[in-house]
Amino acid sequence: PDVLKKRVIIAAIEKFKGNLENIKSANIDDALKTCFSGGERKELSFTDNIKFVKEADKIYLIYSSGSKDIASISIIKEYDMVKEYDMLPGKEQEFSRLGIRCISEIIDGGIDNIKKESISCSEAYVDFDKIIFPVKVRTWIKNGGEKFYPLGAFGSKKLHDFFIDKKVPLSFRNKVSLFLDCEKIIWIGKYIIDERVKVDLNTRRILHIKIFDI
């Protein structure tokens, strides 16, 4: 999906620059067209000596100094490292590359249907009607700049900062399963749901998700 591809492109740019200054939404759209369109060779120059080069089925982000290319990142390799699946509500699924089995069910009714005293970190109850389907399950994109609204908190928080606050080791972060709808993160698996999908007094349907290590 284009949203995921854009995240990978943004992460690659930030890896080189250390920030996203002077990078606009239109630049990312142009890069997406260059990277994932047809044709034998295409090149797109960015600001700060950065350019995208597509050659056959290979795509590179290249940092240049003068006429000399001094560093490059394979966009395809970065994209392939992101493991993503479609979650089907009401089904039991195995996401082998994420190392989890996922069971979900749709519960008719509101907040009274949640057994709060027995909720584990491996499950989430979210408002079905606040979700914009389809739901994707994937790994974290390093330097992707993704944000969410932690349950009970005021305002948004970068996923990267959340991992630091929770002392999640860098080597373990790509093992965390992220559940996302078309617009937002809805659950950081085994950690916390997003405030925007919480079950409240107006909830009429609940999506219950549970994950198991395999």
Task: Using pLDDT thresholds of 50, 70 and 90, give the confidence band for residue 189.
Answer: very high
Instruction: Give pTM, 2 decimals.
Output: 0.68
pLDDT tens sequence across 23-79: 888 888 888 887 766 666 788 887 667 788 777 667 777 776 655 454 566 655 555
pLDDT of residue 128: 98
pLDDT tens sequence across 126-175: 999 999 999 999 988 876 788 999 999 989 999 999 999 999 988 888 88
DSSP state of 98: T
Helix, strand or coil, per DSSP, at residue 140: coil
Cα(158)–Cα(65) distance, integer angstroms: 32
83-213 under CATH 3.60.10.10, yes or no: no
Distances, alpha carbon 188 to alpha carbons 19, 23, 49, 144, 148, in Å: 25, 28, 36, 15, 9
pLDDT of residue 129: 98
User: Which H or E run contains 49?
Assistant: none
Please say whether the beta carbons of 112 and 89 come within 8 A: no
Per domain, the residue ranges of the chain are 2-80, 83-213
Please say whether the beta carbons of 190 and 92 come within 8 A: no
| Mean pLDDT (whole number) for 188-204 | 97
Q: Token digits for 206? A: 């609940």
Q: Where is pLDDT greater, at 203 or 64?
A: 203
pLDDT of residue 70: 46
Number of H helices, E strands in the chain: 5, 15
Please say whether the beta carbons of 122 and 208 come within 8 A: no
Do you find a cis peptide bond into 134, omega within 30 degrees of 0? yes
pLDDT > 90? residue 187: yes
pLDDT tens sequence across 100-124: 999 999 999 999 988 777 789 999 9
